[in-house]
Structure 1
Amino acid sequence: MQLNDMLAYKVAMLSSDLSDSLATVYKSYGLTMPEWRVLATLGNATSLTSKYIAVATRLDKVKTSRALQQLASKQLIVRETNENDKRAINISLSAEGVRTYNALTPLVTKWQTDRLENITDDEYHIFLKVINSLSQQK
């Protein structure tokens, strides 16, 4: 089997190509890939812990911590001590973070629509089904 025929290689190359392409959208807002992943994860949540964010974004603890520090320095997130567990920190988007997320969402939606323009809805649903099947095989 040739490298180009290996499933993991094909998926890795696709992931890299898509990530690089999407980066052109969020980089215009001064965000890195880890920062974008955290911002997007927080965009649909009230508040989350850094542990949850790390799992949801598939970023290691160090990258998650760095992204959170950078987002805090850009005043895009707010950290608050959990009232029930004083050791835990709840993280949420600040007002500026919400504005940034809301500004990026239609741009990311357009980026995705552009990527999918030559793929039918049926093909896309089959693609998602295949991805989900592959992800569940551990």
Structure 2
Amino acid sequence: MSHETVPAHAPLDLERFLPYRLSILSNTVSQSIAADYQDRFELSMTEWRVMTILARFPEISAREVVDRSRMDKVAVSRAVARLVDAGRVDRGIHGSDKRRSVLKLSDAGWAIHDEVAPRARQHERDVLEKLDEEERVWLDRILDKLMG
């Protein structure tokens, strides 16, 4: 049955519904990576994502973390608070603007990042290994197009 002939009130065919499939794939990949760091470092998935963003974009605000990650602002705020309390993230003041705080990984945060990141890259390689080179190129193009 083509998409054009499906009645509007019909249940979603979740196995073919793109948002559902992307969510399941994202959760599957993220959870396999998370298994490495959750118990070992007592890090939530959101905390790890905040850390990766701060590693890539140091000295940005929590609002910028939300913008870059598209994560819920309350979840980011809680994750940042836990990371600061644990000494993994430092909160400072942005230059001359005393009202704007910025975040960066502490030395302890960098130590965790530098241990987890190579494992995360290996998980990515394991997932992408299921595709041939042409499929990997197309996947990259398709993701860029859909996210653009």
CA offset at residue 41 of structure 1?
Answer: 0.4
Amino acid at match of 2:139: F
Give, in whole Å, the separation in 1 of the partners of 2:36 and 2:124: 11
1:94-135 superposed Cα distances (whole Å, 9 cap, x missing partner): 011111111111111111111122212221110111112122
Which of 92, 102, 114 is the matching residue for 1:90? 102
> Which TM-score applies when normalising by structure 2?
0.85
Unaligned runs of 5+ in 1: none
> Which TM-score applies when normalising by structure 1?
0.91
Q: Does 1:11 align with 2:11?
A: no
Superposition RMSD on alpha carbons, in Å? 1.4
CA offset at residue 26 of structure 1?
Answer: 2.2
Give, in whole Å, the separation in 2 of the partners of 1:38 and 1:82: 18
Q: Does 1:24 align with 2:44?
A: no
Q: Does 1:125 align with 2:140?
A: no
Unaligned runs of 5+ in 2: 1-5, 7-12
Q: Does 1:34 align with 2:46?
A: yes
Which protein is bigger by CA-based radius of gyration?
A: 2
Give, in whole Å, the separation in 2 of the partners of 1:93 and 1:101: 9
Runs of 4+ in 1 over 2 A off after TM superposition: none
Q: Does 1:70 align with 2:46?
A: no
Count of residues in correspondence between the two structures: 136
